Structure 1
Amino acid sequence: MNKSLEQYMPDGSKVPYRFMKYRIHKILLVCCSYDGYILEEDGHIESQINQEYIDLNMSNPPSLTRVSSTAEALEKLAGDDTFDFILTMYNVGEPDVFSFARIVKERHPNTPVGLLTSFSKDIYRRIEEQDRSGLDYIFSWHGNTDLIVAIIKLIEDKMNADEDILEGGVQAILLVEDSIRFYSTYLPELYKLILLQNTEFLKDAFNEQQQVLRKRARPKILLARCYEEAVELYERYKKNLLGVISDVGFVLHRNDPPESEKLDAGIDLCRRIKQDNPLMPVLLQSSQVAFGKQAAELGAGFIAKNSKTLLSQLSEYIAKEFAFGDFVFKDPDTGAEIGRAKDLTQMQHMIATIPDKAFEYHTSQNHLSKWLYSRGLFPLAASIRQYNKSHFTSVEEHRRALVNLIRDYRTLLGQGVVARFDAETYSDAVAFARIGEGSLGGKARGLAFMNSMLIKYRQYDKHENVRIMIPRSVVIATEYFDDFIHNNGLKYIISQDFSDEEILSEFVSSVLPFRLREALKGYIRTVRTPLAIRSSSKLEDSHYQPFAGIYSTYMIPYVDNEDQMLRLLFKAVKSVYASVYFAASRAYIQSSQNLISEEKMAVIIQEVCGTEQDGLFFPTCSGVARSINYYPIGDEQPADGVCNVAMGLGKLVVDGGRTLRFSPRYPQKVLQTSTPELALSDTQNEVLALSLRPEEFRTSIDDAVNLHRLSLTDIARFRNSKYVCSVWDRENERISDSPFDSGRKVITFNNILKYNTFPLAKIISDILRMGAEEMRCPVEVEFAVNMDVAPGQQQIFNLLQIRPIIDNQDNRSIDWAAEETSRALIYGEQALGIGQMQDIADIIYIKSEAFDSLSTEKIAEELLMLNNRMREEGRSYILVGPGRWGSSDPFLGVPVKWNHISEAKVIVECGIEKFDVEPSQGTHFFQNVTSLGVGYLTINPFRGDGIFREQELNARQALFEGTYLRQVRFENPLWVCIDGRSNKGMVREEKPED
């Protein structure tokens, strides 16, 4: 992206100036009662001004204070010098308005004073005879209150011109006119045209903040009333002028008498401007139509002042020459229209498709940049203007550069904002939009927050040829969940004991609210990729109870048929809604001491990161990274963070499948790839991919229903494998990273982590640091990466989610030196927990001799029965067993969900010699364990790492003895302390002397 685009940050935080800094807040109106009545009652002037300020989304519109005479006005000003503008009518007593204006200027030299008077030759003759030095402006009153609004705008434009135009890049129109009557007619019309243009280009803005910024960046009008003033204004602001509208005959110097008017001063001015800048539009107007020929010779427009269609001709000229309205692409030979663009999206499309000759014509004439300037898109306009065909070897290269600039700018505008979804204006550039009212839910709030942080910290294009962004997301707010439950009469499900399948069937057969269906229809017309439909409940990912992975995420393929695509999307949304009431969700809500009746579900619809091949869709890699590492190895420190990454969809990572673990600080030191033996045995052995066959997405409580599991043999043919795979060189018994070697694929990520072909470790480090700083606690992020892009396209790092990691350190410190491990039933030095726990007298453990990795699902069933019994008794327990608790892969551990273990207050992953796997850290299960204050211990007694006195427990009488599980209850509560500060944990029996 061109660096000049960085001037503009969509959240406004990086804009160095504030548009329209100086404003008129208090107006003193001096007029007789009749004129006051006309203005205030008939014209509703105050309400008109108020409406204008409401439109600009600004508080404190100017207030009008009316006095009926100049004497009263002077008295008022003596007691209050806070008026920003004084507007007086002609006949307002003694002193007369001219003396009054001079007195005001003596006392308040910086306060502008304007005279408003009815048009009359007699009054104008008298005005000419007076000393007008105290008056800044004189206006002709037609009884139209639009003039008052125009006067306020004109004065504010003058007050802000230097900063907004010279520093901020705002464009301006120079109006040269010495006839009070004519400029009083022109100004309201010009401002109307500008505001109409302003309203049009606001459609490109994505939220209220961007709209306000653009409203304030509207073109300004500069009024010159003599040749001298016109030249001064032109020379000062010529780089930012959209065009000049000038009378032909006017005086040369300030305060020259009207009879000294130079009849062709406007021709001189036009000639001077055209010599300086032949492309500057100039519109001349005069009651002498003979000047039309000279205007044409100079390449200027001309309007006869006495024309009945004066204002409509003015409007047409401005729309065409000042780049207002739609951009019309023309054939330079015939002048015929070949297309038009009303917004940036259409402009991008037209530039990509118009014939070369038309493209060269419009770019050489600066038409594109002028159109962008008039719409307040200054950085983009400046970037496009600085390029001409001499910078490129071909028209195609020039065209591609402009298309990329516009696309990048649109994308950048869409980052960092929460846009309100509007089917008419929504486009693929909007990164984050909301449908409906109510809460966005925890997960979506985190995503919206990180979206703004990526912009604040300028991550978007920090790395060359990489874009860091959230995937395009639309959130259905909780309002529609409430409507869906209410409209379909589904409240009764809360109090009934239905199976998950029955609940899902009820929800999927119900109907989404009509307004939501219509909004989603508009949304899918912008979609060309598969979609992930993710939960974002009120409780999910909140600061103290993350609820990670409790609810479902469904993925659906993209299909061309709109009706079919809508059916898939509706079914997925309703399936996510249903997951609120599944058994595992209920158990978790209950264990976190929340009420299921209070839970509300928002839904995130996200584009899936990745590319298609052979009917399957998946990213190059996905992962989970945490800013704190409770299991540092080697040189790693807890604060360095840790990352688990896998080829393909990230469900493998969050569900506890086999992944690659590395520290972002030491990406080249990966334990799993440190020896060929470890690389072959401990690296990822399957890849998850989304099937693009719509018939595979069936109604199912399994949200992986349409995901395929690819073996290492399967993935060899996929393009993405070259980015993450190495090859086992059997002959030399080594791992080869050469892309040309053939053999068994091994997912090592060496190309990324060792050779930095993609800055994964650096991006993750930056985002973890940024997230932890902004959330004031350790964080966990989910991400996906797509490196499989066309030549010339940027690779994508998608930030999918952020959630806080609960690091509760309110517990009292334990003097571990005074504790005797010889007395421990369980002891470990890889512990995470919140200190001492009370009232636990039961230990449930898997009998090591009965454990079999083929029986883990049966173990889960046996545990569910025991856990239910403990819940009925109101008791909690310590759970001990080998492998990863909560793994979706039954060969890596017991595949429990929350309803299986909701009463466990300490979970011990106890490795046994025949079953030694990495701990659960990085999985959703692990995140929920820690967030609920459940103690967590990892021990491997067979390696001398920790203690589990199974024999001592075996010698005690069992309260329950099953095929796989055994439960022992002690007479008194156990002494339990899981100390996250020292990473030590112990369970021992309390003795009377303790």
Structure 2
Amino acid sequence: MNGSGGNLQDDNRVSTGLPGLDDVLDGLRIGDNVVWRVSDLDDYRRFVTPFIESAASAGRRIIYLRFGQHPPLVSKSANIHIENVDALGGFETFTGRVWRLIEEHGRGAFYVCDCLSDLLDAWATDAMVGNFFRVVCPFLFELDTVAWFALHPDRHSRTTLDRIRQTTQVMVDVHRLGDDVQIQPIKVWCRQSPTMFLPHTEYKGRFVPVDDSSNATRLQAGLELAQLHRQPLLDYWDRLFMQVVGALEGDDQEQVADIQNRVLNVLISRDPRMLDLARNYLGLEDLLAIRARMIGSGYIGGKAAGMLIARSILLTDKPDIWQECLEPHDSSYLGSDAYYAYLVHNGLWPAIMRQRSADGYFSEASELRQGLLAGSFPPEIRAELERLLDHYGQYPILVRSSSLQEDGFGNAFAGKYDSVFLINQGAPEHRLAALEDAIRQVYASTMSEDALVYRKQHKLDQKEEPMALLIQRVNGRFHGRYYLPDAAGVGVSRNTFAWDTDMNPAAGMVRLVMGLGTRAVDRIEDDHACVMALDYPLRQPFRNQDGSYRFSQHLLDVLDLREGKLSTRPLSQLTQEVSDLPLSHLGEVDQTASQRARELSLPSPVWRLTFQPLVRNGHFVARLSNLLSALEAGYSHPVDVEFTLHLNSVGEPTFNLVQCRPLATIGEATATEIPKEIPGSNLLFRTIGHFMGGNINLEIQRVIRVNASVYSQLTVSQKYEVASLVGEQVRAENSKTMLIGPGRWGTSSPELGVPVRFADIAGVAALVEVAEMDGNMVPDLSYGSHFFQDLVEAGIAYVALFPNGRNCIYQPNQLVDIDGHTQEITPLAAIQSFDLRATPLQLTGDVISQNLVCYFQD
């Protein structure tokens, strides 16, 4: 940053406090940032003191930004305001705090800052020191300040030194050779003289240029000799991993533990629980392997860390099984510092600061999102992305969010940030452009409304949340124009939706699909994943085989190489187009439908994806049960995993574990005892099974019900209006609210339920889905889905009611006369709200007996 030119007037001049130094530099100017490159901090201190004294005598406001580990440069006095800023909170927190302080102190303030090199001890990432300077220096210039900084050049890479030099207005080297100390201006913006940039020696208060080339050469030779035994100018990050190599080659266990802790704190997490896991399961060799696959520096993020820790747990604790049954991962990591580098490179830091304010948190997000989508990548990042694509060749890849807080204990961020599949076909430049667009999309998703609401709800809105990326080769096979895994699933180690009293919640549960796992983790409309309780994998929640077929998977998510995108294809179409799908290992032939198809001259046989051959004929259930129990034991907490399956010729699976995170649960406290007798006049509903989240004990003060008979007659646009009105009513009051509605809350298909966003209903206490409207609107028991994760993380109880089922009673007439006069058919008329604070409902569920009731207490 070089500022703007123009004629400099005398009133723009500022003294350094040393007349001799003023002569060398032609004084300072308002707006100058002055960087002193020193080998000894006392050499910076000796120039700071006269500058402060001069500024104080001129009546200037002087702010000392104190963040270093070195002794203070300045003593507290009436003329100096000391601001202590903690760098350990991370780059964004620290830089944001400094930005706010500069805003508060306003125009014309003078600043003295601690040594920038001390930030390395907090961040361990050299590039971020340069990015910090590139953020604050232009801001200080705009506010007509003068600011002083110091750094130790031998602790930084040439790239960082060059960027600081390009950004500052004044840079001065201080050379020390024994007792001989000389200064040499390196950059002085808009000023020059024939001797300005020569070395200068102090003599009787003046700084005399070394204008004899022989003397200058001798000085330089002496400095170079002193530097011979110092490390080359490497990034601090690179030197840190050189120390990892050194620790591995030695046998000092104390040194190994020390360097492991240092690396874990800057690479893996700040969460003590995640750090404890990583300390137990990620050794120095594992950390070097991560570094070898990493672009940039900083954290790899929660999703990447969870995947790697989980794999290590399996290979460490159950090597006899998982050395053979767990496929090697092929993942790369774009470090969190690359996200900040992208912001700084594209001049987006002022926008970030506006968005981080209380008033701008939501209002500024849209503009910042557009800036993230339109940015370009720093050259050094772009070059690494090219090399990454060389590694993956033309295999499809998946660009996944992996933010600092993601997939941690209590903060899964399930579905809040984007993940993008890339077909990865075509010329190298086209593949690079597609990868860059995917990264931009994930970066921009940090500003989505759902993500913003989630962070605010979890009190993370003011915490540092840099976006790292996990980039993975998509596990699967080429099938002509299509690419897909044999199968994929979501497994959970704790089944808090056990629909049968025989089922043990500790046995776990799985949602299985054929093809890409997107259909296992998302609520897919009018299609169904296969849900299995692992202790009774062949026991389905359907009355008969027809129900099992009807509520099975009919659509597959695949990568279409010809169209160049993620596509959804009917199973019936794929069975005709692709001859080598592993259908016999995953499904069964529907004999009745096949006979009917033959009679109508339609393609046959007709396959149904029941996954029963996978259960009956191999070790799938035993291996998945082992995987979940081992990970729950390792985490000391129930877990939620995503995986793909690769089947051999006889249908035996190997697992590719792509994600692991602590499972969110409402709680395990013992529920309030359910009364043995509840008068029918007090009962709103009762169900055996079909509720999620463990034990439930809630007092409901308000009910918002969507009337199915009115809702079914609305147009599509009117149904979206209903969803918006529900959100407004939820936010209008802070009482414990239960939503009751037909079909699926949060659907994207209004004919199947109410298309609310989770952000609209995040504050409710309980969510009830009712099978109404002639069976078209059926609750989706989407255990393991992103929507379910949202519910349980927010502590929202979930209930599915099937009024025609034998184990369900539902009496909405306890709230409203449903046989009353015909209502008008409008969005507002479809919503009924009941204030029950005077006579609250009690919602009680017991996970052991699987009984749940909602009733008015006498």
TM-score normalised by the shorter chain: which range applies? 0.5 to 0.7
Give per-residue Cα distances to partners, 1:867-912, cap 9 Å, x unaligned: 1343254455211123333345666544443223222221112223
Relative to the length of structure 2, the TM-score reads 0.59
Q: Which moved more, 1:628-637 or 1:818-827?
A: 818-827
For residues 354-433 of structure 1, what are the structure 2 equivalents within 5 Å? 417-419=286-288, 426=292, 433=293
The change in CA–CA distance for 1:589 and 1:451 in structure 2 (over 3 A counts) is same
* Match status 1:611 vs 2:469: no
Q: Secondary structure at the match of 2:739?
A: strand
Q: CA deviation at 1:556?
A: 0.5
Residue number among 614, 630, 635 corresponding to 1:775 in the alignment: 635
Task: Tell me if 1:518 matches 2:383.
Answer: yes
Residue 660 of structure 1 aligns with an amino acid whose one-letter code is C
Match of 1:508 in 2: 373
String of CA shifts for 1:202-229, please: whole Å, max 9, x gaps: x9xx998787556779xxxxxxxxxxxx
Counterpart-to-counterpart distance in 2, 1:418 and 1:896: 43
Q: How does 1:615-630 map to 2 (within 5 A)?
A: 615-630=481-496
Alignment of 1:234-245 (within 5 A): none
- Structure 2 residue 663 is the aligned partner of structure 1 residue 805: yes
Within 5 A, what are the aligned runs for 1:507-906? Answer: 507-528=372-393, 529-559=395-425, 561-595=427-461, 598-634=464-500, 635-657=502-524, 658-671=528-541, 675-693=544-562, 696=564, 706-718=566-578, 719-722=580-583, 723-730=585-592, 742-756=604-618, 759-787=619-647, 796-809=654-667, 811=669, 813-817=671-675, 820=678, 822=680, 823-830=682-689, 831=691, 832=693, 835-837=696-698, 840-852=700-712, 859-887=719-747, 893-906=753-766
Distance 1:925 1:639 in 2: 22
CA distance in 1 between partners of 2:615 and 2:307 (Å): 26
Q: Distance in 2 between matches of 1:506 and 1:797?
A: 39
One-letter amino acid of the structure 2 residue matched with residue 602 of structure 1? A
Which whole-Å CA distance do the structure 2 matches of 1:628 and 1:834 have between them?
A: 13
Q: Is the 8 A contact 1:841 1:971 kept in 2?
A: yes
**How many Å apart are 1:579 and its aligned residue?**
0.8
Kindly state the Cα deviation for residue 721 of structure 1 after the two structures are TM-superposed: 4.2
Q: Map residues 908-987 of structure 1 onto 2, 5 A cutoff.
A: 908-912=768-772, 914-915=775-776, 916-955=778-817, 962=828, 964-972=830-838, 974-979=840-845, 981-982=847-848, 983-987=850-854
Counterpart of 1:814, as a letter, is: T
Q: CA deviation at 1:568?
A: 1.2
**C-alpha separation in 1, matches of 2:852 and 2:659:** 31
How has the CA–CA distance of structure 1 residues 628 and 890 changed in structure 2, closer, same or farther, with 3 Å as cutoff?
A: farther
**Using a 3 Å threshold, how does the CA distance of structure 1 residues 898 and 486 change in structure 2: closer, same or farther?**
farther
Q: Give, in angstroms, the shift of residue 936 of structure 1.
A: 1.7
Residue by residue over 1:44-86, the C-alpha shift from the partner in whole angstroms, topping out at 9 and shown as x without a partner, is xxxxxxxxxxxxxxxxxxxxxxxxxxxxxxxxxxxxxxxxxxx
Kindly provide the CA deviation profile for residues 327-347 of structure 1, in whole angstroms up to 9, marking residues without a partner as x. xxxxxxxxxxxxxxxxxxxxx
Worse overlay, 851-860 or 874-883: 851-860
Deviation (angstroms), 1:438: 3.3
| Cα distance change on mapping 1:795 and 1:481 into 2, 3 Å | same
Q: Helix, strand or coil for the counterpart of 1:534?
A: strand
CA distance in 2, matches of 1:730, 1:501: 53
| Cα pair 1:444 1:604 within 8 Å, conserved | yes
Query: Aligned partner of 2:308: which letter?
Result: A
Per the TM alignment, residue 680 of structure 1 is displaced from its structure 2 partner at its CA by 2.9
SS at match of 1:526: helix
**Cα distance change, pair 984–457 in 1 and its aligned pair in 2 (3 A):** same
Aligned residues, how many? 563
- Unpaired runs of at least 5, structure 2: 1-237, 253-281
Q: CA contact under 8 A between 1:726 and 1:748: conserved in structure 2?
A: yes
Rate the CA distance shift 1:973–1:207 in 2: closer, same or farther, 3 A: farther
Question: Deviations 1:348-392 (Å, cap 9, x if unpaired)?
Answer: xxxxxxxxxxxxxxxxxxxxxxxxxxxxxxxxxxxxxxxxxxxxx
2:128 aligns with none
Give the drift of 1:655. Answer: 0.9
Q: Deviations over 1:418-470 (max 9, x none)?
A: 44666xxx5xxxxxx4434433322222112112112203458648xx64136
Deviations 1:260-309 (A, max 9, x none): xxxxxxxxxxxxxxxxxxxxxxxxxxxxxxxxxxxxxxxxxxxxxxxxxx
Question: 1:853–1:892: 8 Å Cα contact kept in structure 2?
Answer: no
Pairwise CA distance, 1:644: 0.9
Distance in 1 (CA, whole Å) between partners of 2:573 and 2:594 is 21
Q: Against the structure 1 CA distance between its residues 470 and 874, is the aligned structure 2 distance closer, same or farther, given a 3 Å change threshold? A: farther
Which amino acid in structure 1 is aligned with residue 315 of structure 2? I
Task: Map 1:176-575 to 2 at 5 A.
Answer: 213=248, 417-419=286-288, 426=292, 433-459=293-319, 462=322, 467-469=325-327, 471-488=329-346, 489=348, 490-491=351-352, 492-493=354-355, 495=360, 504-528=369-393, 529-559=395-425, 561-575=427-441
Q: In 2, Cα distance between the equivalents of 1:215 and 1:940? A: 66
Rounded Cα–Cα distance in structure 2 between residues aligned with 1:449 and 1:208? 22
RMSD: 4.0
Q: Whole-Å Cα distance in 1 between the matches of residues 551 and 335 of structure 2? A: 42
Q: Give the unaligned 5+ runs of structure 1.
A: 1-202, 218-412, 427-432, 698-705
Amino acid of the structure 1 residue aligned with 2:506: A
CA distance in 1, matches of 2:626, 2:718: 43
Deviation at 1:608, TM superposition (A): 0.8
For 1:810 and 1:750, how far apart are their aligned partners in 2?
32
| Cα distance in 2, alignment partners of residues 452 and 892 from structure 1 | 42
**CA distance in 2: counterparts of 1:865 and 1:894, whole angstroms:** 11
User: 8 Å contact 1:616–1:689 — kept in the other structure?
Assistant: yes
After TM superposition, give the deviation of residue 814 of structure 1 in Å. 1.1
Q: Would the aligned equivalents of 1:867 and 1:903 in 2 still touch at CA under 8 Å?
A: no
Q: Is the 8 A contact 1:460 1:467 kept in 2?
A: no
CA-to-aligned-CA distance 1:797-831 (integer Å, 9 cap, x gap):
21111121234546464121367263133443434
- For 1:505 and 1:214, the matched residues in 2 are separated by 48
Q: 1:689 to 1:418 in 2, by over 3 A?
A: farther
Please give the alpha-carbon distance, in whole angstroms, between the structure 1 residues aligned to 2:249 and 2:364: 54
Instruction: Specify whether residues 835 and 788 from structure 1 end up closer, same or farther in structure 2 by C-alpha distance, changes over 3 A only.
Output: closer
User: 1:461 and 1:661, CA in 2 relative to 1: closer, same or farther beyond 3 A?
Assistant: same
Give distance in 2, aligned partners of 1:981 and 1:666. 17
Q: Which secondary structure does the structure 1 equivalent of 2:429 belong to?
A: helix
Normalised by the size of structure 1, how large is the TM-score? 0.51
1:457/1:594 CA distance change after superposition, 3 Å: same
Paired residues of 2:770 and 2:779 also in contact (CA < 8 A):
no
Of 907, 917, 941, 2:767 maps to 907
Offset of residue 551 of structure 1: 1.4
Q: How big is the shift at 1:675?
A: 4.6
Instruction: Give % identity.
Output: 22
Q: 1:721 to 1:846 in 2, by over 3 A?
A: farther
The answer to whether the Cα contact below 8 Å between 2:666 and 2:796 also exists between their aligned partners in 1 is: no
Answer whether contact 2:594 2:604 (CA < 8 A) is retained: no
Give the structure 2 partner of residue 195 of structure 1. none
CA contact (8 A) 2:398 2:420 kept: yes
Question: 1: distance between equivalents of 2:480 and 2:554?
Answer: 20
